[in-house]
């Protein structure tokens, strides 16, 4: 039987330990009996990380310590390593995880020296400082693991600073491995390099600046991943690989480069066709950049580039079959995470209930949650704290929305962002939305607050929800005029019935490079007939606030007549109405993964969530069912608005 505590009483130091892979590794080692000394720049983040660990892992308090450490500073590193040894004795292992990514995508000829130095200072000088003091304080037979990247093997264009730093770490690792063997010939200190691909952490999700002020670009899992396994790795997967190199199972391994990258492959252009188009300089540079990124990240057969309405649209035929299960980004809606006593519609209240709900989503490979300050509907301000209590932000990127009941003033937006960060127990909100338009206050001060939050790193990006198309354009115009970061996502009501936005809204979004996240993608169960016999506290229960809103939207004679005709067609194909509606939105709608579009799905139970994910992943519908759903919109689509 395998030993459940392979690291029992082993002393291991981990840098970059307050979040992402470093935090996942610290947890992995502690569960398996290690004594872990965690280092990171922010003492506040370390305290939060350890508070979460102590809550989740029993009897860990005496086996975890932390040191606020800037790895660029040799005195900090010396204090961390020597402080650990003073408490627990010599080291058994060390994992140097701390890293910095470049903040822009520039060719070397345009790369600022300061940016290069910033990346080298953390990645190279930081790793050098760490190895130096670890080698002085590690036992014979100890193991040091440094973190490289797939950039060691396949360096990408426009990533010169990061690629240079990771290749320098490779050289340091090889030198240290030789020295570890020379120091203790009979029981060498082992030094190996772990080279991950894209990891689903804050670092990979940071916006990268494009050349000449052309905006920012944020990589997503849908962006031309060149790996055979078409997704980001989870921090826990990389942590397990590092732990293997730290442990006794790898004791015959040193000076190795281990690639845990999902099968990363070198780029291979076969054909690229550029039509005769007229581009201004900034768009041309952005186009060349996009080609460069794609050229270093996947294998393409044909790239067609068109200019439509002054914007570049990229169409490509991928030679490789995508293994992604959902055709669109899939996001878990947490509107019914909340206080059950105050809100009968809430389904997930206790920590165990919330964990059971979100664990289903995580196990299916999805990592984005959506909530709001005012969720759940009848118990405002109860959803975010419950997600924070279970440390959902350690495994998921979390989107949330402003408290519209207070109004969108500059002061309220700034205050609400801080509140959401505190309640969710995270350092950065993934997408922060203006939840509904505030037509009683000018929007510009709110945009100023959002821009400040973006520059301060409190929000990764921001979005708009429930606005009219003209209001979206107004927001974008103000942002361009003032030099503010522009919204990147619109979250809106969209399904087989609610499609008016296709004509009015989507042209504005596409012109401005905004993704669309659809809520209520199955029309709240309308196509399953839920409205005919409403369940207590269900979506169509008129006694409930949310049910009353749903009824006002959908329960109209023309709508119900059209829906009944479609239900007859579903029955012929033995497809449930809810499944048909959800699959239509996922596979047959205007939504498209190439724009970053997504579906927000929820469920009243973990099992229903499993079923909903199964439905999305099931694939396209029969043509007759698609035609029946399209007919619903043609007959009654003007009855329901896409905005508030």
pLDDT tens, 65-113? 999 999 999 999 999 999 999 999 999 999 999 998 877 777 888 888 9
CA separation for the pair 523, 563 (Å, rounded): 11
Q: pLDDT tier at 559 (50, 70, 90 boundaries)?
A: confident
| Contact between residue 126 and residue 98 where contact means Cβ atoms under 8 Å apart | yes
Statement: residue 320 has pLDDT above 90:
no
Q: Is the CB of residue 423 less than 8 Å from the CB of residue 375?
A: no
Contacts of 613 (CB under 8 A, 6+ apart): 326, 330, 360, 361, 364, 366, 601
Written as six digits, the tokens of 642 are 């896409």
CA 213 vs. chain centroid, Å, equals: 25
Enumerate residues 6+ apart whose C-beta is below 8 A from 571: none
pLDDT at 355 over 90: yes
Q: What is the mean pLDDT of residues 438-444?
A: 95
Distance between CA atoms of 409 and 332, rounded to whole angstroms? Answer: 29
Contact predicate 398/425, CB 8 Å: no
Q: What beta strand segments (E) does 88-201 contain?
A: 91-96, 138-147, 190-196
Residue with tokens 């749903």: 550
Mean of the per-residue pLDDT values for the chain?
Answer: 85
Assign 40 to helix, strand or coil: strand
Q: CB burial class (10 A; 0-12, 13-18, 19+) of residue 446?
A: buried
Cα 378 to its chain centre, rounded Å, is: 28
pLDDT at residue number 290: 42
DSSP string, 617-631: HH-PPPHHHHHHHHH
pLDDT-derived band at 192 (thresholds 50, 70, 90) equals very high
- Go through 79-95 and write b for each residue having 16 or more CB atoms within 10 A of its CB, e for each that does not: bbbebbbeebeebbbbb
Ordered DSSP codes for 475-540: HHHHHHHHTPPPP-EEEEE-SSS--THHHHTHHHHHHTT-EEEEESTTGGGGGGTGGGSPPTTSTT
Residue 472 has pLDDT above 90, yes or no: yes
What is the C-alpha separation between 21 and 1, in angstroms, rounded?
Answer: 28
pLDDT band at 155, cuts 50/70/90? confident
Please tell me the distance from the alpha carbon of residue 247 to that of residue 241, in angstroms, as a whole number.
Answer: 10
CA 106, 111, 117, 118 dihedral sign is: negative
Task: Give mean pLDDT, residues 213-242.
Answer: 74
Tell the residue number behind the tokens 């909340």, with chain if given.
Answer: 338
235-246 and 20-31 helices, crossing angle to 10°: 50
- Alpha-carbon dihedral angle through residues 438, 384, 45, 409, given to the nearest 10 degrees: 10
What CA–CA distance (Å, rounded) separates 471 from 485? 17
Using the 8-state DSSP alphabet, how is residue 159 labeled? B
Contact 119, 101 (CB under 8 A): yes
pLDDT at position 556, please?
65
Least confident of 257-271, 535-549, 568-582, 601-615: 535-549
- Mean pLDDT over residues 442-449, rounded? 96
Write out the catalytic residue numbers: 375
Query: Within 10 A of 579 (CB to CB), how many other CB atoms are there?
Result: 21
Comparing 327-336, 402-411, 442-451, the range with the smallest average pLDDT is: 402-411
- Mean pLDDT confidence for 248-267: 85
CA distances, 405 to each of 250, 383, 436, 546, 616 (Å): 57, 16, 10, 16, 34
Position 367 confidence tier, pLDDT thresholds 50, 70, 90:
very high
Q: Distance (Å, rounded) from C-alpha 465 to C-alpha 644? A: 9
pLDDT, one tens digit per residue, over 474-492 is 999 999 999 999 999 999 9
Segment 359-373 mean pLDDT: 94
Domains of the chain: 11-197+234-258 (3.40.50.720), 202-232+265-323 (no CATH), 329-526+581-618 (3.20.20.100)
Q: What is the pLDDT of residues 608-635, one digit of tens each?
A: 999 999 999 999 999 999 999 999 999 8
């Amino acid at each position: 039987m395998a030993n459940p505590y392979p690291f029992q009483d082993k002393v291991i130091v981990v840098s970059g330990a307050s979040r992402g892979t470093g935090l996942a590794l610290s947890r992995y080692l502690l569960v398996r009996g290690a004594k872990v000394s965690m280092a990171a720049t922010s003492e506040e983040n370390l305290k939060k990380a350890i508070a979460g660990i102590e809550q989740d892992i029993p009897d860990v308090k005496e086996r975890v310590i932390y040191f606020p450490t800037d790895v660029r500073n040799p005195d900090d590193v010396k204090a961390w390593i020597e402080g650990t040894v003073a408490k627990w004795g010599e080291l058994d292992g060390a994992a140097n995880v701390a890293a910095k990514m470049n903040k822009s995508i520039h060719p070397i000829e345009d790369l600022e020296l300061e940016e290069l130095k910033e990346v080298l200072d953390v990645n190279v000088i930081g790793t050098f400082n760490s190895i130096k003091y670890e080698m002085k304080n590690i036992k014979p037979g100890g193991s040091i693991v440094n973190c490289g990247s797939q950039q060691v093997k396949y360096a990408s264009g426009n990533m010169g600073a990061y690629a240079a730093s990771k290749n320098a770490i490779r050289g340091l690792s090889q030198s240290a491995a030789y020295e570890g063997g020379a120091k203790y010939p009979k029981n060498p200190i082992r030094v190996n390099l772990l080279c991950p691909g894209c990891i689903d952490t804050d670092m990979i999700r940071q916006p990268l600046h494009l050349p000449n002020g052309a905006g920012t670009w944020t990589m997503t899992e849908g962006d031309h991943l060149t790996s055979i396994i078409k997704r980001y790795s989870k921090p826990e997967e990389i942590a397990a690989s590092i732990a293997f190199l730290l442990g006794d199972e790898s004791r015959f391994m040193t000076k190795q480069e281990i690639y845990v990258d999902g099968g990363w492959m070198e780029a291979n252009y076969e054909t690229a066709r550029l039509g005769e188009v007229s581009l201004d300089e900034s768009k041309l540079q952005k186009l060349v950049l996009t080609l460069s990124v794609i050229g270093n990240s996947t294998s393409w057969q044909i790239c067609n580039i068109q200019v439509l309405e002054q914007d570049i649209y990229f169409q490509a035929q991928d030679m490789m079959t995508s293994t992604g299960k959902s055709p669109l980004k899939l996001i878990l809606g947490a509107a019914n995470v909340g206080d059950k006593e105050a809100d009968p519609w809430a389904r997930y209240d206790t920590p165990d209930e919330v964990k059971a709900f979100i664990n289903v989503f995580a196990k299916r490979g999805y990592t984005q949650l959506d909530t709001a300050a005012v969720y759940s509907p009848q118990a405002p301000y109860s959803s975010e704290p419950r997600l924070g209590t279970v440390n959902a932000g350690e495994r998921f990127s979390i989107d949330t929305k402003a408290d519209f009941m207070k109004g969108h003033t500059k002061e309220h937006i700034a205050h609400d962002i801080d509140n959401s960060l505190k309640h969710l127990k995270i350092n950065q909100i993934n997408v922060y939305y203006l939840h509904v338009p505030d037509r009683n206050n000018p929007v510009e001060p709110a945009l100023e607050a959002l821009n400040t939050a973006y520059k301060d790193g409190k929000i990764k990006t921001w979005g708009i929800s429930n606005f009219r198309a003209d209001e979206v354009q107004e927001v974008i115009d103000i942002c361009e005029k003032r030099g503010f970061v522009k919204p990147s996502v619109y979250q809106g009501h969209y399904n087989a019935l609610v499609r008016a936005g296709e004509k009015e809204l989507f042209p504005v979004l596409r012109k401005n490079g905004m993704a669309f996240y659809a809520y209520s993608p199955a029309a709240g169960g309308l196509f399953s007939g839920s409205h005919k016999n409403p369940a207590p506290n269900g979506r169509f229960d008129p006694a409930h606030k949310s049910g009353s809103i749903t009824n006002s939207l959908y329960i109209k004679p023309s709508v119900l007549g059209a829906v009944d005709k479609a239900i007859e067609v579903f029955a012929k194909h033995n497809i449930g109405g809810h499944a048909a509606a959800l699959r239509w939105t996922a596979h047959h709608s205007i939504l498209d993964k190439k724009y970053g579009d997504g579906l927000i799905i929820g469920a009243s139970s973990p099992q229903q969530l499993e079923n909903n994910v199964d439905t999305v992943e099931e694939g396209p519908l029969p043509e007759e069912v698609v035609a029946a759903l399209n007919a619903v919109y043609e007959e009654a689509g003007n009855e329901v608005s896409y905005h508030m």
